[in-house]
Copies of this chain bind each other. A is one copy, B any other.
């Protein structure tokens, strides 16, 4: 009977392949004027996919299989993961789904304009409706757990408020004060040394070099340009990443490339066995982000990484000849409180997430009223980062996620960075990472990651992956200590 599920899964993967290629095409190549024609057909094709996904006969087969004790572990998990999708899909009536879809589409439109004009009052009624609708959905889906617990688990299997509270309390108590101390010692790291005009063709060339260094091979990948960088996996051997370029900022494209390669390498190193199955599709946000953050921060901002690569960068850009390796590495690790999450440095980043986490949690448990959330936002930014938000475009309106009803997603971003610290720590025990980075042997790091993290995809839970890679469950102290050690040293704090 599991064969019925496997055949149906192949069918799903074919529709997903089409929709993924179409999505990539839309974000990189497709013409402006052709949008209406495409969108009408994408809606239809998404509907066809949804019809296949929610096939009632498949549901019955899954229910039967769920009672079958002879299934192996892998098939058991497959049945479980699909049954969750069915169960959630059946929680609302078709009319309710349509209503919710319409609400998110409208809210997204309104948000786009509100952000441009910094007009929170225009967006506020939609944000309120989205929170309320989400509470309703949560109740319909599972009234045994709190709404926010449910959504946190959606994005990171196994997580809940208790576990996140423990994590974010550490961020609040130990990282927030450190950020303020660092801010008082800005003189110690001079980022101006990197100021200059970086020819775009040379930037592209250097990005290509870095991809090659990271083991991102032409025969199974493609890189391109888009406004917002992203990674698309067509299949494990067809991985596409995008970046964007600024002429006066080499770091802007470079670290986005390294970040996306981290995501891409994960997808490429999934085992052949799970290609095209649900295990290749539902890797949690936290685990996925752990790999991009590992590449970007733990490896990409490492001095050993640049011992090999900085001379190559200097050859491309003459004016860097006067900047020492040390000064370069200090610059790329500088920290300073700012308003925009996506531009935040490694140290201040989790505080941006803390703000969002506390608001989401407070709204769902009723301790924060829905009115004037922008003011709540601003006061928390002041409290944790010490900054005065100048207007709502730089505050509550900055991110797209809430306009699409994605509550519970943000915490997984911070969690990913913390997972990465723990995984990096384990990696260093088994590999001479510095030596591998310095000697252009990144493939040894990829091999370790394939074995410990990438290979199984969602066949394992986040908890199981962490235990496999690090021999213990999630422990936020690796992250806290990593940040403290690094930034106290850099900013000469005792």
Contacts and interface: CB of A to CB of B under 8 A. Distances in A.
B30 A22 contact: no
Most buried by B among A19, A41, A221, A236: A41
Given A22-B21, A275-B37, A238 B44 contact: no
Interface string A25-67: 1000111111001101100110010000000000000000000
B18 A45 contact: yes
Interface stretch (A7-15, A342-350, A354-362, A485-493): A7-15
Interface string A109-120: 000000000000
A255 B106 CA distance: 47
A235 interface: yes
A235 B31 CA distance: 10
A222 interface: yes
A408 interface: no
Most buried by B among A37, A220, A221: A37
Contact of A235 (B13, B25, B34, B221): B34
A235 B36 CA distance: 10
Contact of A237 (B13, B31, B218, B220): B31
A175 interface: no
Given A32-B220, A44-B10, A237 B21 contact: no
Nearest to A25: B21
A438 B439 CA distance: 60
Contacts of A330: none
Interface string A210-249: 0000000011111010000000001111111000000000
B21 A234 contact: no
Contacts of A38: 17, 234-235, 238
A319 B236 CA distance: 48
Nearest to A239: B31
A29 B222 contact: yes
A276 interface: yes
Contacts of A48: 14
A275 B48 CA distance: 22
A279 to B, nearest CB: 15
A412 to B, nearest CB: 28
Given A31-B219, A31-B221, A44 B14 contact: yes
Contacts of A32: 219-220
A45 to B, nearest CB: 6
Given A37-B238, A235-B38, A31 B276 contact: no
A15 B15 CA distance: 10
Give the 7 A-B CB pairs with smallest separation, nearest first: A34-B238, A33-B237, A37-B235, A14-B41, A34-B237, A33-B220, A18-B18
Given A17-B41, A38-B238, 11 more contacts: A14-B45, A17-B37, A18-B21, A18-B22, A21-B22, A29-B222, A32-B220, A33-B238, A34-B220, A34-B237, A34-B238
29 contacts: A10-B44, A14-B40, A14-B41, A14-B44, A14-B45, A15-B45, A17-B37, A17-B41, A18-B18, A18-B19, A18-B21, A18-B45, A29-B222, A29-B240, A30-B234, A31-B219, A31-B222, A31-B237, A31-B238, A33-B238, A34-B220, A34-B237, A34-B238, A37-B235, A37-B236, A37-B238, A37-B276, A38-B234, A38-B235
Interface of A: 10-11, 13-15, 17-19, 21-22, 24-25, 29-34, 37-38, 40-41, 44-45, 48, 218-222, 224, 234-240, 275-276
